[in-house]
Structure 1
Amino acid sequence: MPADASRLVDLSHPIRDGMPVYPGDPGVSIGPALTVDADGVDVAGIRMGSHTGTHVDAPSHTVRGGRTMADVGLDELVGDAVVLRVPGLAEGEVYDWDRLEAHGSLPAQLPPIVLIDTGWARWFDDERRTRHPALAAEAAEELLRRGMRVLGVDTLSPDATAGGAAFPVHDAVLGSGRLIVENVANLDAVPDRVRVGFFPLRLAGDGAPVRAVAFLD
């Protein structure tokens, strides 16, 4: 293996027919549109929402007049990341700054990408996914003050999903022009400091599915 080679860890949930989506979002339908037998080629027809699977939220997702994906450069979605481990959370629990710092004080200047590993990715295909823990808005604001430009979570949302209509973390992060990545997978397979990249479909709207990758030396 070349000296500069890296091992890749896929941080994305696979996109598949009938997969789970955020409550109220368009369902995912993937089926044959053309076939080798009838048409000489296999082509799938795909129908899904812009926030399917592992995906990025552009500011316009919740901010009227906010940046769309057309305004987001790939350089914003690739960089050094810190993974904050927050194990043992209960269903619906709101975790605050003290929980983020449970394994040691965080530096005054954070890497541009912050990933939060609650362990909840294991429930992505279970109905418990909607009862995931949620980040406290004050903690999100402190992460922003310390230099975060992308917040990634392993849950449907950094805000509460079950019974919730408020989006305080979205308001804080997207309202400041930064980005959110939701449904990040396999964070248990990467170290606490890692370089990552989120590569979205080139859609011009409010969000896009991404192929999320960690680069391990």
Structure 2
Amino acid sequence: MRIIDLSSPVDSGSFEPDPVVHEVMSPREGALHMRDEMREHFGIEFDPDVLPDGEFLSLDRLSLTTHTGTHVDAPSHYGSRTTYGTGVPRHIDAMPLEWFLAPGVVLDVRGREAGTVDAADLRKELDRIGYALAPSDIVILHTGAAAWSGTSRYFTDFVGLDASAIAFLLDAGIRVVGTDAFSLDAPFGTIIAEYRRTGDPAVLWPAHVAGRHREYCQIERLSGLENLPAPYGFQVSCFPVKIAGAGAGWARAVALVDD
């Protein structure tokens, strides 16, 4: 089995609308930190200089949102109420793990201007690759946006789903939809321009708003889709980090390909 990385990194050196702060405690600083923590919490005195090179374990402190890097959005990300089930959306720590290890299919929507694709576009691509959706599938959009990851363009130049496209996937029983772009919806500027043109609130983040009425998860900010040998015939593993009460969780998404 071959493992293909489909994840983008959490990188404090890259452009992010919500900046990432990454503080590194060196092994020497880690040894001194351990000495101080043992003294404060356990009343134990310890000389770190007896350790090899006077060093112990490094430590990383990060300040970032759960939507940095490759991540899975939970139903609670889309709003505080739902029109399905109990009316209360589930957080990321409550989602079934079975959702996040499943057959994957990639729909190629590259080469388009920033904006949206609709249900007809998705049907056309499925016909082109000769694939019929199954409810357990993880459907991934290949927009090409990953090429701009780490730059401001990544957040403004990509393709998302319109209301008809997300309805088409959810009607097919799909529970997890992914993209290599910043968002499964169109860029902010595109959405606001369309709303000003039409005055129709239905154009405002339809892929996310759909999650208030149908339970599903998104995987955003994938990468490396061009390394897949085919648009289907592989498994996707994208287990989200179990953050209690969170609307999203980081994921190390990979494709599992049988050789």
Give me the TM-score of the superposition, normalised by structure 1.
0.88
How far has the Cα of 1:102 moved from its partner?
3.2
Q: Is the 8 A contact 2:14 2:151 kept in 1?
A: no
How far has the Cα of 1:111 moved from its partner?
4.5
Give the letter aligned to residue 66 of structure 1: P
Map of 1:155-166 to 2, 5 A cutoff?
155-163=181-189, 164=191, 166=204
Q: Does 1:125 align with 2:150?
A: yes
How far has the Cα of 1:185 moved from its partner?
0.6
Equivalent residue, structure 2, for 1:94: 116
Question: SS in structure 2 opposite 1:88?
Answer: coil
Q: Is the 8 A contact 2:76 2:89 kept in 1?
A: yes
- 1:28 aligned residue (17, 20, 34): 20
Q: Does 1:214 align with 2:214?
A: no
Give the letter aligned to residue 37 of structure 1: R
5+ long unaligned stretches in structure 1: 1-5
1:142-181 deviation line (CA, Å, top 9, x unaligned): 1111121100011111112333462210121453111001
Equivalent residue, structure 1, for 2:11: 16
Q: Distance in 1 between matches of 2:143 and 2:123?
A: 13
Q: Distance in 2 between matches of 1:130 and 1:150?
A: 22
Q: Which has the higher helix share?
A: 2
Q: Distance in 1 between matches of 2:134 and 2:103?
A: 12
User: Higher Cα Rg: structure 1 or 2?
Assistant: 2
5+ long unaligned stretches in structure 2: 32-54, 81-87, 193-203
1:1-32 deviation line (CA, Å, top 9, x unaligned): xxxxx1100100111224343x4xx4211121
How far has the Cα of 1:67 moved from its partner?
0.8
Once the two structures are aligned, what percentage of the paired residues are identical? 30
Map of 1:1-217 to 2, 5 A cutoff?
6-21=1-16, 23=17, 26-32=18-24, 34-38=25-29, 39=31, 40=55, 41-64=57-80, 65-90=88-113, 92-105=114-127, 107=132, 109=134, 111-131=136-156, 132-163=158-189, 164=191, 166-173=204-211, 175-190=213-228, 191-193=230-232, 194-204=234-244, 205-217=246-258
Moved more, 172-181 or 102-111: 102-111
Q: Which has the higher strand share?
A: 1
Q: Is the 8 A contact 1:140 1:173 kept in 2?
A: no
Cα gap change, 1:103/1:35 in structure 2, threshold over 3 Å: closer, same or farther?
closer
How far has the Cα of 1:107 moved from its partner?
2.6
Q: Distance in 1 between matches of 2:22 and 2:186?
A: 29
Q: Is the 8 A contact 1:82 1:111 kept in 2?
A: no
Cα gap change, 1:210/1:174 in structure 2, threshold over 3 Å: closer, same or farther?
farther
Q: Distance in 1 between matches of 2:209 and 2:167?
A: 10
Equivalent residue, structure 2, for 1:3: none
Question: SS in structure 1 opposite 2:188?
Answer: coil
Q: RMSD across aligned C-alpha pairs, in angstroms? A: 1.8
Q: Is the 8 A contact 2:115 2:187 kept in 1?
A: no
How far has the Cα of 1:98 moved from its partner?
2.5
Q: Distance in 1 between matches of 2:75 and 2:126?
A: 31
Q: Is the 8 A contact 2:107 2:126 kept in 1?
A: no
1:181-217 deviation line (CA, Å, top 9, x unaligned): 1011111111211210102211121001100010011
